[in-house]
């Protein structure tokens, strides 16, 4: 009754921003991502007869309170799905620098969905795993797959058709993702609260939704054709639009700092000088810069000239969930 699984983080090229059902984590729109090689979570789950509650150990430390409740709530879902009663020990190791603006929730819930179902010997498809992981954190639905993935928002009320599928595997198209760390502090408005406030109050949210189909089909098409300029153009535009919705929220909020804008400007300047590089930003001040592998050193060197840049983590497309023998 024990299994270990590893899942990697992903970065959205076309963002998930807003839920139509908060309980089931059903998104307002499809999103497209790249799974990254460098950052991942490894989770062991062991269901045991002798436990009277779930135990959650994160990076060697036993967690209580809200952290444990989140994991236990997710295990309830797994227990219902697999028709099992009994508690588990969940032991997770995060190889994710949360300080660099990478959320560990995507890799965390994808690894937990995989390890817990495997520990129960429950047969489940990748789509089924994606549906499960989604209910821990929306972006986790995409971390089931390696390479390029799309999370389909679905139309069913019960969420049974809201899962991700793979567009291209990780070895099909190599790109470089430089995670540029400008700020190590915790973000002020968490993505969950940020997207809720935006959906409820921002008059710009309708514009976000209206233009999404165009962005999605341009990104999908660019990935299939492996057309980097087309992909870069649409991913940067999409990120800026997502952030524009927060300016219109009530109360308004802004994830950027001056350093975020400095990095954005250097990326645009690189392009003016013929180096194809594009940026995307999630719910925080750090920037992910995407370029072709042949340009990664030039881009990195230029970004390191900025005083505000504290560190740069270089990533490439990474694998989907896999199981480890312990
Ligand atoms: C800006 O998946 O962290 O990174 O579903 O509430 O857990 P919850 O949110 P989460 O949101 C990610 C938002 C984003 C864009 C993205 O990854 O698509």
* Distance between Cα 74 and ligand 1 center (Å): 17
**CA separation, residue 32 to residues 153, 163, 174, 297 (Å):** 11, 12, 16, 26
Q: Choose the final residue of a domain: 172, 203, 237.
A: 172
Q: Which of 83-87, 147-151, 276-280 has the lowest mean pLDDT?
A: 83-87
- For residue 59, give the DSSP letter: T
pLDDT at position 62, please? 97
Residues with CB under 6 A from ligand 1: 12, 15-16, 25, 31, 103, 105, 137-139, 191-192, 282-283
Split into its structural domains, the chain has a count of 2
Q: Which of 96-110, 169-183, 242-256, 279-293 has the lowest mean pLDDT?
A: 96-110
- With respect to residue 131, please indicate whether it lies within any of the assigned structural domains: yes
For residues 181 and 240, state if they share a domain: yes
54: domain CATH number?
3.30.230.10
For residues 153 and 236, state if they share a domain: no
* Distance between Cα 140 and ligand 1 center (Å): 8
For residues 94 and 182, state if they share a domain: no
- With respect to residue 323, please indicate whether it lies within any of the assigned structural domains: no
Q: Answer yes or no: is pLDDT of 316 > 80.
A: yes
For residues 23 and 160, state if they share a domain: yes
Atom of ligand 1 nearest to the CA of 137: 7
For residues 162 and 21, state if they share a domain: yes
pLDDT tens profile 77-90: 999 999 999 999 99
Q: d(Cα 47, Cα 86) in Å, to the nearest integer?
A: 7
Give the domain range for residue 292. Answer: 176-315
- With respect to residue 224, please indicate whether it lies within any of the assigned structural domains: yes
- Among 16, 36, 143, 253, say which to mutate for ligand 1: greatest number of ligand atoms within 8 Å of CB: 16
185: domain CATH number?
3.30.70.890
Q: Choose the final residue of a domain: 123, 141, 172.
A: 172
Whether this model's ipTM surpasses 0.90 comes out as yes
For residues 183 and 289, state if they share a domain: yes
| pLDDT band, residue 183 (cuts 50/70/90) | confident
SS3 sequence of 176-230: EEEEEECCCCCCCCCHHHHHHHHHHHCCCHHHHHHCHHHHHHHHHHHHHHCCHHH
pLDDT tens profile 126-139: 999 999 999 999 99
For residues 11 and 142, state if they share a domain: yes
Which neighbouring-strand residues pair with 151? 31, 164
Residues of the chain with pLDDT > 70: what percent?
98
For residues 89 and 201, state if they share a domain: no
| pLDDT band, residue 184 (cuts 50/70/90) | low
* Distance between Cα 151 and ligand 1 center (Å): 12
For residues 155 and 216, state if they share a domain: no
Atom of ligand 1 nearest to the CA of 138: 5
- With respect to residue 301, please indicate whether it lies within any of the assigned structural domains: yes
* Distance between Cα 51 and ligand 1 center (Å): 33
For residues 20 and 167, state if they share a domain: yes
* Distance between Cα 12 and ligand 1 center (Å): 9
For residues 129 and 183, state if they share a domain: no
Atom of ligand 1 nearest to the CA of 242: 1
pLDDT at position 131, please? 98
pLDDT at position 188, please? 79
Atom 5 in ligand 1: residue holding the nearest Cα: 138
């Amino acid at each position: 009754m024990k299994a270990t699984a590893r899942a990697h983080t992903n970065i959205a090229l076309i963002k998930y921003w807003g839920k139509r059902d908060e309980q089931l984590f059903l998104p307002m729109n499809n999103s497209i991502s790249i799974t990254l090689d460098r950052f991942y979570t490894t989770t062991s789950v062991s269901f045991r007869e002798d436990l009277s509650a779930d135990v959650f150990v994160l990076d060697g430390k036993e967690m209580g309170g809200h952290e444990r409740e989140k994991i236990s709530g997710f295990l309830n879902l797994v227990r219902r799905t697999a028709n099992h009663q009994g508690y588990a020990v969940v032991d997770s190791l995060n190889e994710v620098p949360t300080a660099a603006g990478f959320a560990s929730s995507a890799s965390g819930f994808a690894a937990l969905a995989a390890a817990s179902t495997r520990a129960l010997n429950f047969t489940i498809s990748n789509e089924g795993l994606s549906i499960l992981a989604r209910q821990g954190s929306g972006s986790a639905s995409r971390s089931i797959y390696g390479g390029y993935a799309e999370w389909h928002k679905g139309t069913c009320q019960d969420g049974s058709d809201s899962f991700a599928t793979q567009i291209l595997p990780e070895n099909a198209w190599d790109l470089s993702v430089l995670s540029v760390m400008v700020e190590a502090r915790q973000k002020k408005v968490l993505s969950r609260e940020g997207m809720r406030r935006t959906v409820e109050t921002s008059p710009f949210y309708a514009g976000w939704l209206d233009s999404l189909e165009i962005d999605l089909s341009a990104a999908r098409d660019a990935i299939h054709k492996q057309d980097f300029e087309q992909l870069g153009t649409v991913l940067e535009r999409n990120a800026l639009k997502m952030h524009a919705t927060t300016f219109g929220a009530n109360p308004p909020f802004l994830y950027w700092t001056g350093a975020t804008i400095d990095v954005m400007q250097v990326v645009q300047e690189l392009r003016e000088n013929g180096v194809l590089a594009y940026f995307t930003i999630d719910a925080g001040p750090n920037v992910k810069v995407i370029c072709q592998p042949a340009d990664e050193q030039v881009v990195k060197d230029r970004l390191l000239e900025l005083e505000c840049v504290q560190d740069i983590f270089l990533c490439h497309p990474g694998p989907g969930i896999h199981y480890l023998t312990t």
